[in-house]
Structure 1
Amino acid sequence: MGGRGRGGVMNIIKFAASVIAGFAAGYSVVWLIMRGALKKQSSVILREAKKQAQEIKENAAREEQRKFQRLAEELRRNNENLENSLQKRSQEIQRKLSFIGQKDKELDAKAKSVDMKLAEINQKIKLLKIKEEEVTKKSTQQKDSLEKIARMPQEEAKKILIASMEEEARSASQTLISGIIKQAEEDAQSKARLIIATAMQKAATDEVQALATTVVQIPNDDLKGRIIGKEGRNIKAFEAATGVELIVDDSPGVITLSSFDGVRRYIGKLTLEWLIADGRIHPGRIEELASKAKAEAAEHIMKIGRDVADNLQISGLKDELVEILGRMEFRFSYRQNILQHSQEVSKLARFLAAELGGDTELAARAGLLHDVGKAASGEIDGSHAIIGAEIARKNGENEKVVNAIKAHHEEAPFETLEAVLVSVADTLSATRPGARMETVENYLKRITKIEEIAMLFDGVERAYAISAGREVRVIVKPEKVTESNAPVLTMEIARKISREVEYPGQLKVSLIREQRWSELA
């Protein structure tokens, strides 16, 4: 009995232990499941939190970027407004300075006018004093004469009175004649000023500024290396073929051509533009296109000359004169374009001849041709007026035209009214404000002289002044100038230039001797 009781208790204990163990195992399983779920959920929450944090960070960055952009835009607008305001202020200051300068000039002119008037008044006062003294003297003389007459016989007194009246009449007539002459001179001057002012208005032409460079646009800067060529051989070939200095620098999209000779620059511009369009850039192609450009330039020059003659209704010009007129488009005198100046002189001379009853066609023709000597100065010795007259005579121009050309700087006597009018028209065109600047003319003369000196030496084929006259490149014939005597020739050219030409700084003489061989295969 007792044993069964203890066995039952043990069974109960075992059952309870099993139940507890089962509960414990179940709880452990449930706890493990819940723990995994919680970990998974916390991982999801963490990822979401990180994602939201990243989005918040990106949104904040974008917002800051937008704020920065708005601020930058506002600063840019403020800067533009400030620059515009400063520019307007600067322009206003410039206008005021210009106005003040103009007023200052007007005041100076008025002061000079006042000084002149004061001088005139003082002169008149002196004259009045002299006349007053003369009147007093005459009055005294008349009193003395009357006293003498009173004591003279009647016939003698009558003769004296008649002589006195004749003297007074002669004096009065001389005063009247002087007044008439003075009035006529004033009327003539007024009429002349009116004629000249009207002529200047009718003959106004556009001004062309003298330039020593031409800019050529290129499609991209990669072309610059091809244009330079290996060791600069393309540039050397270009300069030798055209006589134009090729300047390739850091300026984006452009190449600059430099030469004081406008025709050379035109040829160089055509050659370079054709090379860029063609794409084949090498010495042989450069020489080929340069020759083609020279032919094109010759046609262009003739067209310019014909167009100018047609516009001025001047016919019968020989081809040489037409070509010289075309070349004048590329020449400048004291910064004034010679062809524009010649057209202006032609129009002025025509108008003046019409007003004064001269031959309008003769005046216009001589006016157009008066400076042809400036475009052909190397052919004949003498001034450009003498040279131009000889060229005109050689091309069958009328002797009246020849005289007008020769005399327009008074190097020959005027033989016709039209010659005088051409000289007057030339002076009017050349002396108006802003028409000329001597420094450019002196520069061009110096450049031309340098090239002419280099060409005097035996064996020299071509000579080009470049780098604003600081260097002259001399191309020699290899069969006449050997390598051994090339340095001596270079030194002789440099010595002769230094003796005969005045120039600032130093001048470099570069002698180029190039020899080529070719063979047919």
Structure 2
Amino acid sequence: MMFLIGIIAGLAAGIALAYFIFTPSAVKKAKEELQLQLKSAKQDSESIIKRAQEEADHLKKKALIEGREELHRLREEQEKDFKRDREELKQWEDRISRREDNIDKKEEAIEKTRMQLDLERARVEEMKEEAEKKLFSLAELSMEEARNMVLKRAEEIYEHDLAQKLKELKDHYDEEGNRYAKWVIVNSVQRYAADYTGDVTVSAVSLPSDEMKGRIIGREGRNIRAFEKLTGSDLVIDDTPEVVVVSCFNPLRRAIAKMTLDRLVEDGRIHPARIEEMYEKSKKEIYNEIKEAGQEALMKVGIPSMHPELVKLLGRLKFRTSYGQNVLQHSIEVAHLAALMASELGLNVDKVKRGAILHDIGKAIDHEVEGSHAIIGGEIAKRYGEKSHVVNMIQYHHGETEALTPEAVLVAAADAVSASRPGARRESLDMYIKRLENLENIATGFKHIEKAYAIQAGREIRVIVEPEKVDDLLAEKMAIDIAKKIEEELEYPGVIKVTVIRERRSVSYAS
């Protein structure tokens, strides 16, 4: 089309040019030729336009036909899919209908069986009542007296059978339970292992020279008296070269006293006023350390926030020991062990962590308040907004209250594991000997016992029985009874193993 317009424009320009160049006759002739060319060009353009229009109509019809065919094909495929889905749905409906029929039949059968059992149970109860009435009328005994008599007689007759049954039940129910419990505890302990450092009641301070000992003592002992009165600790100055020992049973006071003495030795100026100044600075620094220790403990365990007063009390446990074991490190370990066991058992890990890290919080002030540290700790946690399940974990871990959640039992178990691990705690010699004697006395209090020996630091007791009066089954029952009595009468960390030994010796002489 643009090409034709160009031709026409060129012809027009030619006509205009010819008008000025040629003669009128030539112009006329040229004009006629030009009109013919225009007419021919117009006809050609109309023919081209018509062919283009026809071709466009043809393509349009072709595309429309192809689209209709594609739509028809897609519709057929969709109908096939719908038909297949309807057939599958019908098959499922048939299956469900058959299952419902089977369930209805089973329910009817179960209902009939239940009715029959109810009838049989009622008949048995009637027979039992009639037999009891007849027995009471013949024996002229009350129900309680008859029951006690029958039980006593049965126990005398079937004592061996009961012991055998007890052993079977114990083997059956304890095997899997003990295996799983040991697996959970061992797996948790393996996943968390902590180093133990036993705390002592003295701290050594190195001196630059023995001359410093005289300056610490002061004229007529005024410096050492002022130091001991202010810090509440004792200074042991002996013949050991260049060493002074700070002695105190309170770890917090001992830490403040040691830091005060270190600063005095470093400064060199030692007199009562300077001692008081250094003591106040050390005390302030130790209390800042307490706050940081509490925050660090929460960070190690993974507890995001806690009341600031609880954080301070938790930090004070850094300077508290129990049987030589640092209470703060023990609390952190209990939190990790309890959390690991909770994860193995599918319990609430965050809840366990919070209760475990606070389980010994009462030891921070138990010397200031009357009562056990478990009850005191629960009251403190409750005062500072901890939830009831956390309070229950704290108060239950020594069995002084009932456990309200499984997590409370886990905290108590983790506490026992941490305390009873080798090297975790120390025990005084007198308490150790007394505990062993109590174990042996409990065992020898039973009948037919020859000797009893507490071994393995009191973690096992071996009992030797009279073989002619105690058989193997009764020995098994006796081990259970001794273990139960130990649980009732003694307090001890960990587990005590009871081993009953029965030996039969046959002796004969040839003469």
> Normalized against structure 2, the TM-score is what?
0.50
